[in-house]
Chains A and B, each alone.
Chain A
Amino acid sequence: MTANKEKRRAISREAARRRRRVESEVFEDLSRLLPLQPSVQAHLDKPSVIRLTLSYIRMHTLLKGETGTKAKASHTLTCGQVMGRHGCDGGREEKENETEDVEASEETNLYLRILEGFLIVLSTEGDMIYLSDNVSKYMGLTQNELMGHNIFEFTHPCDHEEIRNNLRLTAEEVWCGAKRDFVMRIKSALTHRGRSANLKSATWKVLHCQGRAKVCVASSTVSCLLLTCQPLPLSHTLLSKHTFTSQHSMDMRFTYCDQRMTLLLGYSTDELLGRSIYDLCHTLDIKLLTKNHLNLCLKSQSVSGQYRMLVRGGGYVWVETHSAVIPSVRPSKSRPGAHQPLCILCVTYALSGVEEPSLQLSVDQIVQI
């Protein structure tokens, strides 16, 4: 009996080996087709090959409706683009208007840089169908490592609920190109110095995601979410006369305010100290501010939408605030001084002038004698 068993086992093993060989060949074929650098291609494992193939096919299906029109228009530019990536403008066959060419290649070259973020295409289940390749700058992981995986594997568990809500698209929303705007935390394998580390030692990075739904009607209707994800840096914000900074305690009461606020809103800086921002905004914007506040408490950074701040004496100004929680700073040897507790730093941009200056809406606006 055992001899028989052994024999059968040997046969099955042979068969398995043969199967695997064939399978590997097919996998190799597939990986060769992928638009990747040869060096990368060789080291892909099977799941990744399938993953990337899936992404490719999905993207293709998604853009099918668009490629028809766009391909013609951009045909002349295809060569330029590929070249343009490397910034060289020599060796091109087509001789168009030089200005235009330069601009076009510059344009594509600069797009993602200007965006200061990366693009992500999400399926309704959260699969990251496509990511632009500059994602490595923000997450420390390359496009190839991420494409095809599910976003829930990389985002903070507390944000999953919100992400899921945002991914939920009704048919109506999809056709109208519904917009999305939210903040989420994603893993970043970047060290402080910007080098990629292991995913195990990943930190959380806050990203502001904005985008809309997109649909493509092919053999089956595929809908997905197009998002641009930008980190929210406060460190290099150019301030002008129409922006001001302010600091708040965690309950959104002012603890410090820039003098430029006076020019915009009319309150003196002393007047505002201790006042809650909720008292200074239009009632209809409370929900927005609450969401902002909660984002700050949970995720440590936030972008408010547009809301109205009441001006002293009457009227209001439309503003938008970008804020972040500043960790508490304890005095140390290198930095002696007062202990700075946890606080919120806000940069507020004025979007409009003073609207309806004669309208006094709130008790806080009334000019005190």
Chain B
Amino acid sequence: MSAWNTAAGGGDRSGVEPAEEVLVKENQSSVSLPSAMTPSSAVDMSFSTEMPRKRKGCMDNQDTKSISMDMDMDMEDMEDEQNGSDGEDRHGKMKCFREPHSQIEKRRRDKMNNLIDKLSAMIPSCNPMSRKLDKLTVLRMAVQHFKSLKGSTNSFSEASYKPSFLPDEELKHLVLKAADGFLFVVGCDRGKIVFVSESVTKMLNYIRVELIGQSLFDYIHPKDMEKVKEQLSASELYPRERLIDAKTGLQVQADLPVGAVRLYSGARRSFFCRMKYNKISVKVEEEFQASTSKKKELQKYCTVHCTGYMRSWPTSQVGAEGEGDADKQDSSHFSCLVAMGRVHSHSSPQVHREVCVKPTEFFTRYAMDGKFTFVDQRATTILGYLPQELLGTSCYEYFHQDDLLHLADKHRKVLRSKDKIETNCYKFKTKNGSFVTLQSQWFSFVNPWTKEVEYIVSTNTVQSCDHSRTDRSGNKSEQSSDYKTSDGKKSLPVIPGISTTPGAMIYAGSIGTQIANELLDHNRMNSSPSSGSVSPFSLPRDKCPQTHNQISNNVPNGEAPDIEIPGKSSSEDEPQGAAFTGAESLMEENSQQDLDGMVGPGLSSLSNDDAAMAVFMSLLEKNTNVGEAVDFEEMHWSL
């Protein structure tokens, strides 16, 4: 694209005349153009839009013009310019055939000049010149340079058949370099490596010579041996070829009979296998070995994508050194696989990184409501739980009560935004009851096709220092005091018929559910404008950021029109009631099935009213400032 821009900028260099033409044109263009564009920009614009398009369509025409035609055009054009015949509207009409001749000519000239510029840049003798050389000189120097290049290297000789820009050898090397691959030929019968290219040294670190004559199977991962055997074989014991028809996507049985014919026809093979990688005798390697032995094993193999063809050569050609006499084949043909192996990049740099000191991190996935759906195995060493212990439970059950507030807020945010949301440091309860400080980065994963949130991905990093406290907004002292006071109350007030565990469960687990439902509802609301009534969730949405641990006297629950909470009136309610309101309305409004699925089986054993009562009663028993109704630390979460 830059080439075009320079051309558009009017890079005429060959002599004075053309420059004048350019000027003339520009002046005229300014006259004809009604809008307030500057001439150069007008020219630029027309060029940048016209040229590429013209190229695509009419490139063939231009390139096949012969030299003689070229000359005639030049002549005409010059005269045209001098006559000043360009009243045409070249800025408006961008069509190929409607283009004025002068425009075509100008473009051609600019292209030519551009090429000459490039050429002069490439020719060493042109470079030292301070001023720009004219076209003819550059061309002459190009000829000389060319001749010198041809003379120096033998491989560019075109004495015989097909002259090419690049000799095969060079081409081969380039291909191997680009593909990160090596060529190999293995006999089908026993996998004997007949040939392997030099690039194998770079790829697998074996010397070429030591590989030739060996069996391929010695270098393949034991688990992949069967796979490779299958690919090499032509025997009828193995399943027939299966091809896929791209148009219908259906599998089609190959019509070719299995066996010898398959080999002759140059059947294609494409497979992946793990090949041994020769160890480097460098210190670095020892460091790796010092780390887990599993890693060492991983490094020894690399994944190779092999693509190639089955070939068969008459044994007469192969000669004494080939497979010919060693083979027990009665056929006079030596069949083999000629393939290129492309090495997939190894993850060794990553391994190295893990050895360095880096804060421990692990990944988790949450469903929209905060339930764990995926837990990285590294979590076990950090949290103490096996992944399966966490799966299905809500993350809010493990968050420290002080952090519920801001994490819920972030949760809400992440569901609505495409960005990565960073949480502050928070505490996560480990298996043995203590807390570990984490800091996470969340982002919601949206299905590219449906644009719906599928889940939230969380990168959790362990924080070593205890700066968790300082990051929180505002109500720290209150929170700490809350924490302390709630410490004193170790148990829920006894409510006949209801155990404490499910009650607490409602609280934590439902936060996530509530947030998720908010989003769903929000989306539903947005899509269906008919729902005019205030959603019960609009209330908590405003309030939750301030709830749980704050002393603000917020909008009382009484505002929510459809919520019937026995005895709940405005002033005496704790702000946290809002969360419960949400939870309660959740219970009431949503289907039971919803709840069971999300909050846990324990709840189903309670009726809605009972649960509401339990929660409410626990609130009423406390003083206003208390952060928590329940002391989570003593709770044993189980689902």
Enumerate chain A interface residues (CB-CB to B < 8 A). Answer: 12-13, 16-17, 19-20, 22-24, 26-27, 29-30, 33, 35-37, 43, 45-48, 50-61, 63, 66-67, 70-71, 74-75, 77-79, 81-86, 97-99, 102-103, 106-108, 110-116, 119, 121, 125-127, 130, 132-133, 143, 145, 147, 150, 152-153, 179, 187, 198-200, 210-212, 214, 219, 226-228, 233-242, 245, 247, 250-252, 276, 278-279, 282-284, 286, 290, 293-294, 297, 305-306, 318, 320, 324, 326-327, 329, 340, 343, 345, 347, 349-353, 356, 359-364, 366
- 7 A-B pairs within 8 Å (CB atoms) are namely A50-B116, A108-B169, A114-B339, A234-B246, A283-B374, A329-B247, A345-B244
Cβ of A251 and Cβ of B447 under 8 Å apart? yes
Known: A78-B155, A361-B377. 5 other contacts (CB 8 A): A23-B139, A57-B122, A130-B165, A211-B178, A233-B246
Cross-interface CB contact of B146 among A33, A132, A297, cutoff 8 Å? A33
Cross-interface CB contact of B171 among A97, A98, A132, A242, cutoff 8 Å? A132
A29 neighbours in B (Cβ, 8 Å): 143
B59 neighbours in A (Cβ, 8 Å): 153, 199
B245 neighbours in A (Cβ, 8 Å): 235
Please tell me if B231 contacts chain A, counting CB pairs below 8 Å. Answer: yes
Cβ of A116 and Cβ of B64 under 8 Å apart? no
A290 neighbours in B (Cβ, 8 Å): 445, 448
A71 neighbours in B (Cβ, 8 Å): 153-155
Cβ of A363 and Cβ of B374 under 8 Å apart? yes
B57: nearest chain-A partner, CB-CB: A200
- Shortest CB–CB separation between residue A113 and chain B, in angstroms? 7
* A55 to B122 Cα, complex, angstroms: 10
Cβ of A366 and Cβ of B388 under 8 Å apart? yes
Q: Given A79-B160, A359-B387, are A115 and B146 also a contact pair (CB < 8 Å)?
A: no
Q: Given A198-B60, A360-B391, are A240 and B169 also a contact pair (CB < 8 Å)?
A: no
Cross-interface CB contact of A56 among B63, B70, B146, B226, cutoff 8 Å? B146
Cross-interface CB contact of A50 among B119, B239, B344, B448, cutoff 8 Å? B119
Cβ of A102 and Cβ of B317 under 8 Å apart? yes
Cross-interface CB contact of A179 among B180, B248, B305, B457, cutoff 8 Å? B180
Q: Given A26-B143, A35-B163, are A362 and B365 also a contact pair (CB < 8 Å)?
A: yes
Cross-interface CB contact of A35 among B119, B158, B320, B457, cutoff 8 Å? B158
Cβ of A97 and Cβ of B319 under 8 Å apart? yes
B259 neighbours in A (Cβ, 8 Å): none
Cβ of B179 and Cβ of A297 under 8 Å apart? no
Cβ of B317 and Cβ of A241 under 8 Å apart? no
- Shortest CB–CB separation between residue B312 and chain A, in angstroms? 12
Cβ of B227 and Cβ of A238 under 8 Å apart? no
* A350 to B2 Cα, complex, angstroms: 44
Cβ of A103 and Cβ of B195 under 8 Å apart? yes
- Shortest CB–CB separation between residue B278 and chain A, in angstroms? 20
Please tell me if B251 contacts chain A, counting CB pairs below 8 Å. Answer: yes
Cβ of A363 and Cβ of B392 under 8 Å apart? yes
Cβ of A16 and Cβ of B139 under 8 Å apart? no
- Shortest CB–CB separation between residue B443 and chain A, in angstroms? 10
Among B1-36, those with CB < 8 Å from A are 1-3, 17
Cβ of A50 and Cβ of B161 under 8 Å apart? no
* A233 to B3 Cα, complex, angstroms: 34
Cβ of A219 and Cβ of B447 under 8 Å apart? no
B390: nearest chain-A partner, CB-CB: A363
Cβ of A99 and Cβ of B242 under 8 Å apart? no
Cross-interface CB contact of A99 among B227, B308, B321, B372, cutoff 8 Å? B321
Cβ of B271 and Cβ of A240 under 8 Å apart? yes
- Shortest CB–CB separation between residue A207 and chain B, in angstroms? 13
* A112 to B178 Cα, complex, angstroms: 12
Please tell me if B127 contacts chain A, counting CB pairs below 8 Å. Answer: yes
Among B122-152, those with CB < 8 Å from A are 122-124, 127, 135-136, 139-140, 142-143, 145-147, 149-150
B365 neighbours in A (Cβ, 8 Å): 283, 362
Q: Given A179-B180, A363-B372, are A114 and B308 also a contact pair (CB < 8 Å)?
A: yes
B127 neighbours in A (Cβ, 8 Å): 219
Please tell me if B97 contacts chain A, counting CB pairs below 8 Å. Answer: no
Cβ of B239 and Cβ of A241 under 8 Å apart? yes
A240 neighbours in B (Cβ, 8 Å): 227, 230-231, 239, 271
Cross-interface CB contact of A235 among B67, B243, B309, B374, cutoff 8 Å? B243
A210 neighbours in B (Cβ, 8 Å): 178-180, 342
Enumerate chain B interface residues (CB-CB to A < 8 A). Answer: 1-3, 17, 52, 55-57, 59-60, 62-67, 70-71, 74-75, 78, 108, 111-112, 115-116, 118-119, 122-124, 127, 135-136, 139-140, 142-143, 145-147, 149-150, 153-158, 160-175, 177-180, 183, 185, 194-195, 197, 223, 226-227, 230-231, 239, 241-249, 251, 267-272, 274, 303, 305, 307-309, 313, 317-322, 338-340, 342, 344-345, 363-365, 371-377, 386-388, 391-392, 445, 447-450, 454-455, 457
A-B contact count (CB 8 A): 365
Cβ of B143 and Cβ of A51 under 8 Å apart? no
Q: Given A59-B166, A226-B174, A366-B391, are A45 and B247 also a contact pair (CB < 8 Å)?
A: no
* A79 to B358 Cα, complex, angstroms: 57
Cβ of B183 and Cβ of A111 under 8 Å apart? yes
Q: Given A26-B143, A212-B177, A352-B274, are A116 and B169 also a contact pair (CB < 8 Å)?
A: no
* A216 to B55 Cα, complex, angstroms: 31
Cβ of A67 and Cβ of B170 under 8 Å apart? yes
A121 neighbours in B (Cβ, 8 Å): 174
Cross-interface CB contact of B177 among A84, A214, A238, cutoff 8 Å? A214
B124 neighbours in A (Cβ, 8 Å): 219
B179 neighbours in A (Cβ, 8 Å): 115, 210-211, 228
Cβ of B136 and Cβ of A114 under 8 Å apart? no
Interface centre among B146, B247, B373 (most CB of A within 10 A): B146
Q: Given A55-B165, A240-B227, A306-B303, are A115 and B340 also a contact pair (CB < 8 Å)?
A: yes
Cross-interface CB contact of A237 among B158, B248, B270, B342, cutoff 8 Å? B270
Cβ of B1 and Cβ of A150 under 8 Å apart? yes
B178 neighbours in A (Cβ, 8 Å): 119, 210-212, 226-228
- Shortest CB–CB separation between residue B376 and chain A, in angstroms? 7
B450 neighbours in A (Cβ, 8 Å): 251
Interface centre among A27, A60, A235, A251 (most CB of B within 10 A): A60
Cβ of A46 and Cβ of B251 under 8 Å apart? no
Cβ of B457 and Cβ of A286 under 8 Å apart? yes
A237 neighbours in B (Cβ, 8 Å): 243-244, 270
Interface centre among B52, B143, B318, B392 (most CB of A within 10 A): B143
A235 neighbours in B (Cβ, 8 Å): 243-246
A125 neighbours in B (Cβ, 8 Å): 1-3
A209: nearest chain-B partner, CB-CB: B178
Cβ of B168 and Cβ of A81 under 8 Å apart? yes
B249 neighbours in A (Cβ, 8 Å): 245, 247, 326, 343, 345
- Shortest CB–CB separation between residue A314 and chain B, in angstroms? 9
B143 neighbours in A (Cβ, 8 Å): 26, 29-30, 33
Cβ of B309 and Cβ of A113 under 8 Å apart? yes
B150 neighbours in A (Cβ, 8 Å): 33
* A366 to B372 Cα, complex, angstroms: 13
Cβ of A103 and Cβ of B165 under 8 Å apart? no
A51 neighbours in B (Cβ, 8 Å): 115
Cβ of B448 and Cβ of A293 under 8 Å apart? yes
Interface centre among B127, B170, B248, B313 (most CB of A within 10 A): B170
Q: Given A252-B449, A366-B388, are A99 and B177 also a contact pair (CB < 8 Å)?
A: no
A98 neighbours in B (Cβ, 8 Å): 317, 319
B194 neighbours in A (Cβ, 8 Å): 103
Cβ of B374 and Cβ of A362 under 8 Å apart? yes
- Shortest CB–CB separation between residue B302 and chain A, in angstroms? 11
- Shortest CB–CB separation between residue A250 and chain B, in angstroms? 5
B388 neighbours in A (Cβ, 8 Å): 360, 366
Cβ of A199 and Cβ of B56 under 8 Å apart? yes
B238: nearest chain-A partner, CB-CB: A240
A83 neighbours in B (Cβ, 8 Å): 160-161
Cross-interface CB contact of A283 among B136, B242, B376, cutoff 8 Å? B376
* A290 to B444 Cα, complex, angstroms: 13
B449 neighbours in A (Cβ, 8 Å): 250-252, 293, 297
